[in-house]
Structure 1
Amino acid sequence: MALLLCNKGARHPFYYEQLDIDLWSIQELSYVIYRYPVIIPSEFVDHKLTAWLRDELNMGILAARLEQFMMAGDDGNQERLLLMILRESNYYTQAEISRFESEYKKLKNIERHVFLNMLGDTYLRMGKYGRAIEAYEESFFLNTDFNVEMKLAGTYVTVMQYQKASDLYEEVFIATGSDEALKKLYFISKLEPSVDTIEKYIENIGVDMLANWELLYNEVQAVAEQSDRVREIHEIYQKNRSAFREHSKIMILKWKREYRAKI
């Protein structure tokens, strides 16, 4: 995590499965709680966590207090436990902790499909695209919301599953007549010409609209071509073709690992 260890770090990290990360300090633990409350499970603070606080961070007093409240088992138990950790970390102000408390209370009272939509948004920001897809799919199954379906389609584009994305954008367009869904179909046809769903709806696209989409696509492509990664590969190719081939093998393996991690 891009977070400084404000206190002494643990000898062994606490692994948080929901984020697939290792936590090394009370500040990192607090950051996760504060930043991602929507993915904090109802039994997040358990004996495994208190043992880590006691054994790895030498925070025996906090661990004992948490365990005492865990034994009480009242309805607001988990919320109280999370607030205790946030206060003990000294990483957030009291005003920030109060805001967290208010938002956390809201999460417990929202409808399931709304929660899942928020969960999908959180995973999307984190780059956990497979989990985002699962959350959006379940949300849409529970409540037909075309905004959620658009998000789902966009996430499929991100992981280069263009046919699935195209099918969803087409559903949205048929149901709502959305120009945005039509535009996405057009962009997919540019990214992957074999997915040519847009051809069925060419008559729905005005000349000016098409010209604007083409301009937008070209602008985005030009920006992408100037990225640091593209420039690095181009420079290697220009200097040494043999080195480029070796570098390409390494980069392809790296990209494959990154892709698998995202889905």
Structure 2
Amino acid sequence: MYTKVLPSISPNKIKYPYHFEITQKNIYSLEELYYHCYYYWKESIDDFIMGKLEDWIREELDLPSIANQIASTKEKNSKCITKQYIDFLGIIDYFSDKELYLLGKEIFRWEHKHEWEKAKDKGDLYIRRGEYEKAIEYYEKALQYTEDSRVLNNIGIAYMERKQYEKAYQYLFAAYTKTPQNIKILFNLSFVAQQQKEYKKAEEFLKEALSIKECGEGWYYYGQLQEKLENEEEAYLAYQRSITFSDSIEGFLALARWYRQRNQVDQALQVIEQLPSKHNWGYYIEKAKILEQQKKSEDGIQLLQEAFHTFTPHPQGFIMLSKLYRTTNQKDQASKIIQQALQLYPNNDAVKLEWARVQKKEGKIKNYQEILKDILFGWIQKYRNPLEKL
């Protein structure tokens, strides 16, 4: 049975939309609110519990009767969050009984999870959004109840993304001591060790992971490390080994890049065309780079335009397309593309850097210098010791 389509009962215009912090979505009507609360219930339920939704419905939508019904259902079922939430969704007849029943089962399982699992779920939501400080906050709450290796690993990743490598290593190593057979944790430890320039330790972690389970991902990481150490033959052999496994899209891309950077473009093209699945941005971006090296930039532009019609936008896709326009003196197109990227990814330093290069190409040297200064200042602010002063 499908959800019913009902006429809107919300006012035509509202002054203040409701803003969901986790999903970063603005809501303008009761219909949108119910849609969000049904399909993004984990991201909505805290706002429901705290009474924020009924306040907005009463004050902004001017629907006090519905707000009062919500308050009444919460009071009547004060000991059961699941019953409160399902009754709230049932006030307006948008969802079928079957839909509400199935969602109720899902929320009931969540409600009876341990507190640490709920906190971990919230941390995972924030880490997927790249909000690592908020993720750390929830993982720390989870660690008040448990020292589960999944929480330790994820908080380690959050610190790793913030380039706080000492803390990342502490948490990741704690996760490793609890589940030493988990190769993902070993991969993370290897990455952190590399950032700390402890390359021998990084290599040992990768070898241990590969001894537990040989896989394309592991050989790809091993190749990356050997390439960083300028052990070219070992890196090449690792990438070759990587592409013998079905999980190794990154291995194919790395090997294609390896050939391209050594001006062996025919071999690079041959490898990229062997990718098990070409339905990803990695294939299009790497092939565009190969075409650029073959002095076929227009073909690269056409290829990336095709990708933008096929996939959700990707910052590296914008950057590469802008670069191809810029290096073929199509300055207006380069500027247009990178400005679109800036609207979608205003805090992405790689996007800002390409914008600086476009400004330089247009002869706007002062703008170019200001953008570079802004990027550098952002790095200092983000990663310096909080006790230091500029």
Is the TM value for this pair above 0.5?
A: yes
In the alignment, is residue 186 of structure 1 matched against residue 190 of structure 2?
yes
CA distance in structure 2 between the aligned counterparts of 1:90 and 1:83, rounded to whole angstroms: 12
**2:359 is matched with which residue?**
236
Alignment pair present for 1:119 and 2:115: no
Q: SS of the counterpart of 1:169?
A: helix
Change beyond 3 A, Cα 1:256–1:127? farther
Of 208-217 and 172-181, more deviation after overlay is shown by 208-217
Bigger shift: residues 216-225 or 56-65: 216-225
8 Å CA contact 1:113, 1:139 repeated in 2: yes
Structure-1 residue corresponding to 2:372:
248
User: 1:40 is matched with which residue: 45, 49, 52?
Assistant: 45
Cα deviations across residues 56-80 of structure 1 (Å, max 9, x unaligned)? 213233123223334545533x544
My pick for the range that moved more, 242-251 or 14-23, is 14-23
Amino acid corresponding to residue 235 of structure 1 in structure 2: V
Answer 1 or 2: higher relative contact order, Cα 8 Å, separation at least 6. 1
The yes-or-no answer on 1:196 pairing with 2:320 is no
Q: Is 1:109 paired with 2:233?
A: no
Sort the Cα spacing of 1:179 and 1:27 in 2 relative to 1 into closer, same or farther, 3 A: same
Structure 1 letter corresponding to 2:118: F
> In the aligned structure 1, how far is the partner of 2:369 from the partner of 2:77?
61
* Distance in 2 separating the partners of 1:61 and 1:79: 22
Query: Can you list the C-alpha shifts for 1:211-242, whole angstroms capped at 9, x where unaligned?
Result: 26655598499878665325444333444333
Change (3 A) 1:186 1:18: closer
Q: Is the 8 A contact 1:185 1:197 kept in 2?
A: no
Equivalent AA in structure 1 for residue 149 of structure 2: F
* Structure 1 residue 196 displacement after superposition: 2.8
Question: Does structure 1 residue 132 correspond to structure 2 residue 132?
Answer: no
What amino acid is the match of 1:199? K
Structure of higher CA gyration radius = 2
Residue 15 of structure 2 corresponds to 11
1:211 aligns with 2:214: no
Q: Which amino acid aligns with 1:25?
A: S
In structure 2, the CA distance between the partners of 1:45 and 1:24, relative to structure 1 (3 Å rule), is farther
Following TM superposition, by how much is the alpha carbon of 1:28 offset from its aligned partner in structure 2, in angstroms? 4.0
- Residue 103 of structure 1 and its aligned partner are, at CA, apart by 1.4
Deviations along 1:31-62, whole A, 9 cap, x unmatched? 4433142662397263x643432332132331
Question: Contact (CA 8 Å) 2:191, 2:202: kept in 1 or not?
Answer: no
Amino acid in structure 1 at the alignment position of 2:69 = R
Secondary structure at the residue paired with 1:40? Answer: helix
Counterpart of 1:83 (choices 67, 83, 86) is: 86
Q: 1:180 to 1:66 in 2, by over 3 A?
A: closer
TM-score norm. by structure 2 comes to 0.50
- Structure 2: which 5+ residue stretches go unaligned? 1-7, 211-217, 228-238, 240-249, 258-281, 287-314, 320-350, 384-390
Given that 1:185 and 1:198 are in contact with CA atoms closer than 8 Å, whether structure 2 keeps it comes out as no
Q: Cα gap change, 1:105/1:25 in structure 2, threshold over 3 Å: closer, same or farther?
A: same
Name the aligned partner's letter for residue 175 of structure 2: V
Shift in CA distance, 177/85, structure 1 to aligned 2, threshold 3 Å: closer
Aligned-partner Cα distance in 2 for 1:17–1:225: 26
Give the secondary structure class of the aligned counterpart of 2:15.
coil
Identity among equivalent pairs (%): 19
Q: How many residues align?
A: 249
TM-score (norm 1): 0.70
- For the structure 1 residues 56 and 180, does the alpha-carbon distance in structure 2 shift closer, same or farther, using more than 3 Å as the test? closer
Counterpart Cα distance in 2 of 1:238 and 1:174: 52
Relative to structure 1, the CA distance from residue 256 to residue 42 in structure 2 (aligned partners, 3 Å threshold; closer, same or farther) is: same
Q: Is the 8 A contact 1:166 1:197 kept in 2?
A: no
What is the CA RMSD across the aligned residues, in angstroms? 4.1
Counterpart code for 2:137? E
